[in-house]
Structure 1
């Protein structure tokens, strides 16, 4: 018997008991749909984290002022200004595998343009900041070293600020005011999106030269003109982060003249590591949910075995007749195996469609990101076929070993 003929007989047997076949496939449909939906949600979350890592900038270290004790109470981070521009220069020049070390100052401020104003984060930077953050200037130009040296009255606007103040107009070359200081917009930053850690809109920002921020815009709140709020350090590679972090700690302790028993007057954070930990937890959760959903596939396989055993009993005379007409045991076995595999594959395809629809439904209702991987679709259908063969083997084997004479006598 040819494979095509075997498949035709299997499809005819399925159609002969359509309702029962549909109910039998239901377990496979639910199992495959659950796996597809869970994997789509998990993949979407992982891709979102990867995109956020890309937007944040990989291999970063953030050096903040320390949290000193005062009267037995520990103050907040940054309560004492301990970092300077010279610290940034020393880190960049003396610590191997550091690409850039960007000093920063920041504070809130109102950006005014005509009759419009917007409260945003104002940050004083050097050009190294944009290198560390992998942040491109979408239109216009970036800051030059001359802008830093002369405390030029120029500003880079984030996309959110630019759209709010200028709407459909081109902001390049237009004047704005921050803290009553007139500045000229020289560039608009590319879109970064939401910060994964804080949830803040990263495009809601205005960047000015570091010297301009200290002398003109944010200087009123500063004890010393030389101190900075943060150092943003970009490291050459992932594997260098841990040793570079220790080298920075050693260097800053030496520069700040801290005794061996004194606490650090700074803190080094690793945003990239936190994001990676989140990605790892997302992957683990995806595997867990997929494993739970796969239980439905096993239940569906048991249902397939049960129905195939019933089918063998119902078709005992048919099996005896086929054997009497010359069908070999392997022909009978293959017939029932193909029937079981066909049930599962059809259920798998239906489950894929239901799973994709469920994933998009969840995305629409909950606002979660999803990603339906072609590999997960192919794997789900293949697993469904394997389940059909595995759980259909025993009924097929039982059918192929029926005695033809006894089978013909069966009522």
Structure 2
């Protein structure tokens, strides 16, 4: 019962000094709300990154020319102005005799082009690939058909368009299938339409047109020449088993080093990533940002704890005669210590509860602004914030509580 009496006493003290209590709790409120917001947004970022990489396909490896000095720079800038990869490299990387753990592969050329249909026009992205590309990416055609081996072997001028291309080029009542669009004035027949995919951190997948790799090289190579891109943009590989992707990556590196005549002393002119590599790289960046922002939130909690300590010292001074009276009628040191510790923790927990509500509200507001990025406040996050609030109150109230417990009852009763 004593603990409930102490909690009620602490709540009465909060109500009797509302302004002072609010100002005291302000640091706790800011710190806890920041912790809640950061953890929920961090979880949302992690979920978002995972969903973006899962949208790329499963069990994939990416091979590209080496540009920049970081893995994320390699991936984001995968279609840089120069490339060391060739179609011969792509064929070698898809050969199961050289790479037993590869299931399929495709060379890719990525270009920007002006697409036209009658009077409508749109600057879009051209993705040149082979017939395995859609399956490797986990893409299905909404209308029409996918690329075939004959399309690739014959360099057929056929195209599969995304939803943005469909909406921008074709009137609502027009069936796009078998219509001809012009890509940099070269006619291509529309054979398929992709479902809506949305944008990700790498590209807007609705504003793209997929054509056979051979057609991109044959009919759109003037674009490549102007950009100084004689080879292929990247090679996409799919392993037979996620457990052997590490072996497949090492084998791919060895094959390319041999083809590019790179000895052990020289640096590779290409880079190979698994999806796990890329997730780890982006996760490290996210973790570093979270740690930095959490440190700022920690400073706010420290300031809040100092505020609680100061107000508890003032409270002890104001209630010196009460402390002396309680000791005179038999209260022990531990009773006084416990009383003021409970009051400090109650003050901190009330501030923490307000901070949790504000942080959760902020996370919900962010979630309402985006369909893809969804911060989430988990029970573990709430429990952690509550525990942090309690600890701040415990440590902030310890010195004032000890000071109160050690008071001489006679001197305390003489206090004016």
Q: Same fold per TM (> 0.5)?
A: yes
Secondary structure of the structure 2 residue equivalent to 1:250:
helix
Per-residue CA deviation, residues 3-32 of structure 1 (Å, 9 max, x unaligned), is 332221221122222222222212212222
In 2, Cα distance between the equivalents of 1:220 and 1:174? 25
Tell me if structure 2 keeps the 8 A contact 1:40–1:371.
Answer: yes
Secondary structure of the structure 2 residue equivalent to 1:122:
strand
Query: What's 1:71 paired with?
Result: none
Tell me if structure 2 keeps the 8 A contact 1:66–1:264.
Answer: no
In 1, Cα distance between the equivalents of 2:290 and 2:307? 26
In 2, Cα distance between the equivalents of 1:31 and 1:379? 13
Query: What's 1:102 paired with?
Result: 106
Any residues of structure 2 matched to 1:176-215 within 5 Å, and which?
176-178=180-182, 179-196=185-202, 200-214=203-217
Of the candidates 377, 385, 393, which is equivalent to residue 380 of structure 1?
385
Report which stretch shifted further, 32-41 or 390-399: 32-41
Query: What's 2:310 paired with?
Result: 306
Any residues of structure 2 matched to 1:139-218 within 5 Å, and which?
139-149=143-153, 151-152=155-156, 154-166=158-170, 168-169=172-173, 171=175, 173-178=177-182, 179-196=185-202, 200-214=203-217, 217-218=219-220
Tell me if structure 2 keeps the 8 A contact 1:156–1:187.
Answer: yes
In 2, Cα distance between the equivalents of 1:243 and 1:140? 38
In 1, Cα distance between the equivalents of 2:279 and 2:251? 23
Uncovered stretches (5+) of structure 2, i.e. residues with no partner = 68-79, 226-230
Distance 1:34 1:62, change over 3 A: closer
Distance 1:83 1:14, change over 3 A: same
Secondary structure of the structure 2 residue equivalent to 1:94:
coil
- Compute the displacement of 1:362 (Å): 8.2
**1:371 pairs with 2:378:** no
**Over aligned residues, Cα RMSD in angstroms?**
3.9
Tell me if structure 2 keeps the 8 A contact 1:193–1:201.
Answer: yes
Of the candidates 366, 386, 389, which is equivalent to residue 394 of structure 2?
389
In 2, Cα distance between the equivalents of 1:232 and 1:64? 9
- Compute the displacement of 1:65 (Å): 6.9
Secondary structure of the structure 2 residue equivalent to 1:208:
strand
- Compute the displacement of 1:340 (Å): 0.8
Query: What's 1:400 paired with?
Result: 405
Per-residue CA deviation, residues 196-253 of structure 1 (Å, 9 max, x unaligned), is 3xxx4333211123344455x4367799xxx855421134567755543342243345
TM-score after normalising by structure 1: 0.79
Query: What's 1:270 paired with?
Result: 273
TM-score after normalising by structure 2: 0.78
Report which stretch shifted further, 80-89 or 345-354: 80-89
Distance 1:221 1:331, change over 3 A: closer
In 1, Cα distance between the equivalents of 2:350 and 2:66? 62
Query: What's 1:284 paired with?
Result: 288
Per-residue CA deviation, residues 104-141 of structure 1 (Å, 9 max, x unaligned), is 34444443333323232223322321233333434444
Distance 1:60 1:303, change over 3 A: same
In 2, Cα distance between the equivalents of 1:167 and 1:48? 34
Report which stretch shifted further, 131-140 or 380-389: 131-140
- Compute the displacement of 1:183 (Å): 0.7
Per-residue CA deviation, residues 339-398 of structure 1 (Å, 9 max, x unaligned), is 111100111122233445566788999xx9672433333312221112112221232233
Distance 1:338 1:261, change over 3 A: closer
In 2, Cα distance between the equivalents of 1:261 and 1:317? 82
